[in-house]
Amino acid sequence: MKESHLGLRILLAVLAVVALITADLRFNSLEKTRAVLDTAATPLVWIADIPARLGAWQNKHIHSRARLLEERERLQRENLLLKGRSMQMSSLQAENVRLRGLLNSTAMLRSDVLVAELIGVSPDPVRHQLVLNKGARDGVYVGQPLIDADGLMGQVVDVGEVTSRVLLLTDSTHAIPVQVNRNGVRAIAEGTGALDTLDVLHVSTTTDIKPGDLLVSSGLGGRFPVGYPVAEVMAVEHDPGQSFATIRARPSAAINRSRHVLLVFVDAAGDSPPLPRES
């Protein structure tokens, strides 16, 4: 009995559905109802689509972040490379300026010279010595003067086959005969152990010497040729109780900055040999 009632209900439902479909096809009688149901279901459809939208947004965000990180790393590498090249260019430009200065100084020299490069310094902070990349096979000899683009730096004190060691003017054991370029007053410039200071000795308190005077090599002693810039007078102090003035001077050469230098060949008389005459 119950099964017959259930079958009857299903049959009635099917007939009702068929009737509704037929009526909708012929008369569009369910159009408004369908529109209302579609409107009511729209929020549910949107909510159901949220996980998919979130997944797509997350994937896009992750890929965008990865691309940005990769781009940032690339730009950082390029920036580092450009900075390195810039520093190298600055160094090369400065070295070019120094080499031009050396070339200009050689053009004014009436002597034979040898270009050398600094390859080492003395590990002893008290001794002001340099090691050059030229030695006996290049003709370097003990006592040979060393200059840069600005003035005298020192002299060779030891020669190896391919290197040589130089004692700087500023070493406390070094002294050089000088004269005031303005009036020819003679003195001795002695190293103090400081790279920026020389003591000028044996100048009486009545001597005409003043700050700003240029001291050049006098050629006495036969080791250094005449006329090379040595130092500029910085301070002159006169003590009434002393026979000699206290004079400090600053080396003309870039003692602690020069990388390329010139070794000057001097003859036995202490003069720079003249350039050969043109035939």
Each residue's pLDDT tens digit, 11-66: 776 676 666 666 655 555 556 666 665 666 667 667 766 777 776 777 667 777 77
Say what percent of the chain tops pLDDT 90.
34
* Residue 13 in tokens: 């439902």
pLDDT in tens, 154-168: 999 999 999 999 999
pTM above threshold 0.85:
no
Nearest in space to 217 (alpha carbons), one of 142, 153, 143: 153
pLDDT of residue 274: 37
Residue identified by tokens 């797509």 is 56
Using pLDDT thresholds of 50, 70 and 90, give the confidence band for residue 201: very high
Give the class (CATH, top level) of 112-265: mainly beta
pLDDT of residue 221: 82
Q: Identify whether the C-beta of residue 138 lies closer than 8 Å to the C-beta of residue 262.
A: no
The domain spans of the chain are 1-108, 112-265
Q: Which residues of 81-94 are buried (b: 16+ CB within 10 A; e: fewer)?
A: eeeeeeeeeeeeee
